[in-house]
Amino acid sequence: MPDQTDKQTFSDDEALEFHRRPTPGKISMAPTKPMATQRDLSLAYSPGVAVPVRAIAEEADRAYDYTSKGNLVAVISNGTAILGLGKLGHMASKPVMEGKAVLFKRFADIDSFDVEVKTTDPDEFVTVVKNIGDTWGGINLEDIKSPECFIIESQLQDELDIPVFHDDQHGTAIISTAALINACEITGRNIEDVKVVLVGAGAAGLSSIGLMKAMGVKAENTTVVDLAGVVYRGRAEHMDQWKAVHATDTHKRTLAEAMVGADVVLGLSAKGAITPEMVASMADKPIIFAMANPDPEITPEEVHAVRPDAIVATGRSDYANQVNNVLGFPYIFRGALDVRARRVNHEMKIAAARALAALAREDVPDEVAMAYRGRRLKFGPDYIIPTPFDPRLIWYVPPFVAQAAMDTGVARKPIEDMDAYRTELRQRLDPSAALMQKIASAVRAAPNKRVVFAEGEEPAVIRAAWAFKQSELGTPILVGREDLIRQNAMEAGLRFDELGIEIVNARVSEHNALYTDSLYERLQRRGYLRRDVQRMINQDRNYFAAAMVSHGHADAVVTGVTRNFNMVLKEVRRVLDVKERLIGLSILLAKGRTLFVADTSIHELPDAEELAEIAIQAAATVRKLGRNPRVAFLSYSTFGNPPGDRGEKVREAIRILDAKGVDFEYEGEMPPEIALDPDARSNYPFMRLSKDANVLVMPAIHSASISTRLVQALGGATVIGPLLVGLEKSVQIVSLGASVSEIITAATFAAYEEGVADEDPPEPIRAAAQREPDATPQPAPAPRPRTSVPPTS
């Protein structure tokens, strides 16, 4: 029987390291108002704050207008049923709760913080939460064991005038019901006829079976099983009122008996609860949702070994058909918050389930399909439910939820224009995540790229190579001594042999002589003896790695973890030629903007000609990344004011571009606030930038480097790079001591630059480039859920 951990793409150490660095945990808070001046302080705090205080004292709902309440959700737990791990206590639940909070932000732009309550007593829990509950626009209860969770949720919902939503119950019910609707459609079943067995009569299980019944599953066709066996009518032991609702008249007493001839089994219990023998006894084309986390009741491999005709779903992201409440809670709360709902009612849950089921039947955009390369994302047995990274979820699902809230009278603030609302939702997604996702998707979709990780003995590099391969981004090659790499991999907890990563030892490589000869040919008239070159190839992995790509034995290189940038660049350039103008391009992601900054690593004090070429190279790269470049040449001066040599140099660069007739927008010289603010630009009627600049060409390396690093150090911004652009082969040099994720990002860019970006950009990127990605997206036609399920009242 395969162990679940076979699927694991990281070691325990990595999971801890991920949570520990660079800052412990997964969330932090960011202000939405500047606190820069005394006036700001007077407004934000005393005395200005007194004005909204009085307004809210008069009318409590004004808190939605003057505080963060309307976009704020608390994720609250007491740690009594953490995933499928059990009762491990309130503090142990904190990583999961932070995780849910960060998913709220990532997928639905909802601000969220976790609250861990140190009590297992339901009354005490209710007292605590009800007294602080008005703080938020909604409460997501999480991982609270049954049956206490039922009491807690219903009492809190009675007490509070905001949605109180126990995600393990309703989120799971919504997703699993959506998946069931579609699995029935695919297997040609009518939902009213399916025989369903539920394993796990807890929070998630009972709510799921409840919603399925509301959507058409007949009570007499269901069997519920818990640790004591089948929940039959009349059973006395190990019962409660919530289980009793779903008890049936049956002579069956065990799960094995219940599963004979069943069409559907829902696992919401624990690892290993379902056996292959049980699955073998099910009806034709059985539907198996093994949703326990992190390890399912039975693995898809085990199911398919006995029933190749089965449709299988799990709660995990590494198998097809992830039935996990991450598909629900962000979008359900988004819709509920946007109408300031007082609760999430039955109709809103059904609307969400129908929307998810309908979305899975729509054509999958290439962009999503590429992210899941190798998997068939076409409505069918391996795709019954949208994937969590589907960017359509954010604008597709919440309007249904909001509409249902409005139709059922729980909306405080109805949405007047649904199409405008959908457009607004499309713009909420985090552009940094979207950019990285797009690049990674393009790399996966392109022909496989072989990326050399030059410092192959370094533990961080080994881990990055491992993750690169696991994420199907390409084929990594580690340069170094095999025994040392293996030892370091083992110490990092990686099962190296299973992954089959290629290791190349420069000294004993079959290409050693070839690389030495060709490098000697390049360097013999630059003062190098053959034995010097032999030593360089043997001992210096940057020479060797660069020689590999130069001879076509690999496609791209990532290096720089152990040596400083300039030294590495010098070595690489001895082996490889510059194809175009070589520049360093940094990507700065902050406050919903993506800015490309050049030149952040090569030209110390570029002259006018070089500035113009930097702009051309940066614009071309940005275009390959699917953006329409708008270049601002930055300076301390604005169109000659104050006058000075530095400004004149930039003006000369503009004249050079004018003469060349380039095909992108550019303007300068100007300071950043003019490049990035339309109001500030309105003072210059001759301004040639049609919108905010997205490529900032800096006057010199120090201003480029200092400004990007300063923004990063201040927090609230992500800086990727500098990426090295313009060499004949793609080489990315990370910063000294780079983290595993920085190395992976650099390797992904290396693969992207080499080949992916040179070929025709893949469809979604080309389409994006053509339609001006930052133009207001057109609202899609209102989704119309199609379902074979009868409407419920």
Question: Which residues contribute to the site for ligand CC(=O)C(=O)O (CB under 6 A)?
Answer: 83, 143, 167-168, 293, 315, 324-325
Residue nearest to ligand NDP (CB): 202
Please choose which of Mg ion, ligand NDP, ligand CC(=O)C(=O)O, none residue 227 contacts, taking the beta carbon within 5 to 8 angstroms, the exact cut-off set by kind.
ligand NDP
**End-to-end Cα distance, the chain:** 45
Per-residue mark of binding to ligand NDP, 280-299 (x: CB under 6 A): -----------xxx------
* Sign of torsion over alpha carbons 553, 558, 562, 564: positive
Compute the distance between CA of residue 686 and CA of residue 674 in angstroms, rounded to an integer. 13
CB of 314 to ligand NDP, least distance (A): 8
Strand partners of residue 36 = none
Number of C-alpha atoms within 13 angstroms, CB side, residue 114? 24
Q: Does 98 bind Mg ion (CB under 5 A)?
A: no
Q: Which stretch binds ligand NDP (CB under 6 A): 95-103, 128-136, 322-330, 562-570?
A: 322-330
DSSP state for residue 6 in the 8-state scheme: G
Q: Does 204 bind ligand NDP (CB under 6 A)?
A: yes
Any idea which residue has 């069943």 for tokens? 262
Cβ neighbours for 223, distance < 8 A, ≥ 6 positions apart: 195, 196, 197, 198, 230, 231, 248, 250, 252, 258, 262
Taking the least distance from each CB to ligand CC(=O)C(=O)O, the nearer of 313 and 740 is 313
Compute the distance between CA of residue 766 and CA of residue 778 in angstroms, rounded to an integer. 17
Per-residue mark of binding to ligand NDP, 753-782 (x: CB under 6 A): ------------------------------
CB of 209 to ligand NDP, least distance (A): 11
CB of 294 to ligand CC(=O)C(=O)O, least distance (A): 8
Asked if 175 and 323 count as a contact pair (C-beta separation under 8 A), the reply is yes
Per-residue mark of binding to ligand NDP, 663-702 (x: CB under 6 A): ----------------------------------------
Taking the least distance from each CB to ligand NDP, the nearer of 222 and 269 is 269
Q: Which stretch binds Mg ion (CB under 5 A): 49-57, 140-148, 351-359, 679-687?
A: 140-148
> What's the distance, CA 488 to chain centroid?
29
Cβ neighbours for 293, distance < 8 A, ≥ 6 positions apart: 83, 84, 315, 316, 324
Compute the distance between CA of residue 546 and CA of residue 550 in angstroms, rounded to an integer. 6
Compute the distance between CA of residue 178 and CA of residue 82 in angstroms, rounded to an integer. 24
CB of 83 to ligand CC(=O)C(=O)O, least distance (A): 4
Q: Which stretch binds ligand NDP (CB under 6 A): 55-63, 267-275, 464-472, 733-741?
A: 267-275
From 143, 148, 295, 754, residue interacting with Mg ion (rule: CB under 5 A): 143
Compute the distance between CA of residue 59 and CA of residue 55 in angstroms, rounded to an integer. 6
Pairing label, strands 593-598, 578-590 = antiparallel
Name residues contacting ligand NDP, limited to 323-352 (CB under 6 A).
323-325
Q: Which stretch binds ligand NDP (CB under 6 A): 123-131, 199-207, 367-375, 465-473?
A: 199-207
> What's the distance, CA 382 to chain centroid?
21
Torsion of CA 782, 786, 791, 792, to 10 degrees: -80
Taking the least distance from each CB to ligand NDP, the nearer of 152 and 465 is 152
Q: Does 205 bind ligand NDP (CB under 6 A)?
A: yes
From 184, 225, 429, 625, residue interacting with ligand NDP (rule: CB under 6 A): 225
Helices (H), 274-328: 276-280, 300-306
Compute the distance between CA of residue 583 and CA of residue 695 in angstroms, rounded to an integer. 13
Taking the least distance from each CB to ligand NDP, the nearer of 138 and 200 is 200
Q: Does 202 bind ligand NDP (CB under 6 A)?
A: yes
CB of 147 to ligand NDP, least distance (A): 8
Per-residue mark of binding to Mg ion, 158-177 (x: CB under 5 A): ----------x---------
Assess whether 66 carries a catalytic annotation.
no
Taking the least distance from each CB to Mg ion, the nearer of 144 and 351 is 144
CB of 100 to Mg ion, least distance (A): 8
Taking the least distance from each CB to ligand CC(=O)C(=O)O, the nearer of 316 and 581 is 316
Which helix (H) or strand (E) is 452 found in, with range?
A: strand 450-453
Q: Does 116 bind Mg ion (CB under 5 A)?
A: no
From 129, 179, 201, 719, residue interacting with ligand NDP (rule: CB under 6 A): 201
Compute the distance between CA of residue 461 and CA of residue 454 in angstroms, rounded to an integer. 9
Compute the distance between CA of residue 441 and CA of residue 367 in angstroms, rounded to an integer. 7
Assess whether 543 carries a catalytic annotation.
no
Name residues contacting ligand NDP, limited to 135-194 (CB under 6 A).
145-146, 168, 172
Compute the distance between CA of residue 472 and CA of residue 441 in angstroms, rounded to an integer. 10
Selected catalytic residue, list 7, 26, 69, 100: 100
Strand partners of residue 641 = 638
Asked if 474 and 449 count as a contact pair (C-beta separation under 8 A), the reply is yes
Compute the distance between CA of residue 427 and CA of residue 273 in angstroms, rounded to an integer. 43
Cβ neighbours of 203 (radius 10 Å):
29
Q: Does 231 bind ligand NDP (CB under 6 A)?
A: no
Taking the least distance from each CB to ligand CC(=O)C(=O)O, the nearer of 126 and 173 is 173
* Sign of torsion over alpha carbons 74, 80, 82, 83: negative
Q: Which residues here bind Mg ion, judged by CB under 5 A?
A: 143, 168
The residues that are catalytic are 45, 100
